[in-house]
Amino acid sequence: MASGSVETQADPGQRAADELFNKFEAMIQSGELPDGAPLPPEREIVERYGISRTVVREAILALSNKGLVEARPRFRPVVRKPSFDTALDTIGNVVTRLLEQGEGVKNLFDMRVMVEVALARQAATDANRDDIYRLKQALEENETAINDMDRFFETDIKFHRIMYEMSGNPILPAVHRAYITWLQPNWVKMPTLPSRNQLNFESHTAIYNAILMRDPDQAEVATRKHLADAWDQINRILMESD
């Protein structure tokens, strides 16, 4: 890392933290600081650039907010390779706050419906033998977990995750993980009864059968019904909490 005072080299009016942020960002993008590498110790950065600890911490916070480093208390920040997951993680706190506003949860859920309907239709026309086998395995695991509340939730997530993975688009599995993170606080409040699990399993079965039969229209109908049932439960919980 090149030495030199950040303040004296910064353009007029540019804050020292911004200049330090730019230096580290360039080093990460060039590979000089590779994925998984820790940043230098805070004291070393202070001495090398002739800046204060406050400046260092502000620059690292900006790097963390942009998803370029993972910063944890009592640990040196670690470089994170940019990915769709890190991009969605970066906006996670903002989305969480937006979900607290008015129709926030409904808007996010509506977007999920749009995505999963499109995925179901695509799967019904494009899914290969391996895709269908994976979906069938997930469905079987879902059935065996009907009376096990925690495991059913895990297998439910897995069934939907495979739908996102089947698209072959690397953005979509990251979107699914984001949905889980953002919507889970509402999902966990839903009744975890064997009768409800049975209903969800039957909905998953209808989606699977439509894909197996190469019927995109029926795959859309089954997906919309499944997600409409899920929204009814979430909406009931939201109304009760008002």
- Strand, coil or helix: what is 112? helix
Mean per-residue pLDDT, 15-38 = 89
14: helix, strand or coil: coil
What count of Cα atoms within 13 Å lies in the side-chain half-sphere of residue 212? Answer: 12
Q: Which residues of 43-59 are buried (b: 16+ CB within 10 A; e: fewer)?
A: eebbeebebeeebbebb
In sequence order, the 6+-apart residues with CB closer than 8 A to the CB of 70 are 64, 77, 78, 80
Q: What are the backbone angles phi and psi of residue 69, rounded to the nearest 5°?
A: -140, 155
Nearest to 39 by CA among 84, 72, 4: 72
Average confidence (pLDDT) over 47-55: 91
pLDDT tens-place string over residues 88-117: 565 555 455 555 555 777 888 898 899 999
| C-alpha closest to that of 162 among 125, 114, 123 | 123
What SS3 state is found at 33?
Answer: coil
Among candidate residues 74, 99, 66, the one with its CA nearest the CA of residue 178 = 99
DSSP assignment letter at 11: P
In CATH terms, the fold of domain 90-241 is Four Helix Bundle (Hemerythrin (Met), subunit A) (1.20.120)
When pLDDT is averaged across residues 42-50 and rounded to a whole number, the result is 92
pLDDT for the residue 176: 85
Other residues' Cβ atoms within 10 Å of the Cβ of residue 203: 19
Instruction: Evaluate whether 6-80 and 90-241 have a shared fold.
Output: no
- Bridge partner residues of 38 (DSSP): 78
Return the percentage of the chain with pLDDT > 90, whole number. Answer: 44
Phi, psi for 103 (deg, rounded to 5): -90, 20
**Both tokens assigned to 92:** 């996670």
Domain ranges of the chain: 6-80, 90-241
Q: Give the pTM.
A: 0.64
CATH architecture of the domain 6-80 equals Orthogonal Bundle (1.10)
For residues 155 and 141, is the Cβ–Cβ distance under 8 A? yes
Q: What is the pLDDT of residues 211-230, one digit of tens each?
A: 999 999 999 999 999 999 98
Q: How far apart (Å, rounded) are the C-alpha atoms in residues 52 and 58? A: 10
Q: State how far the Cα of 167 lies from the Cα of 174, in Å rounded to an integer.
A: 12
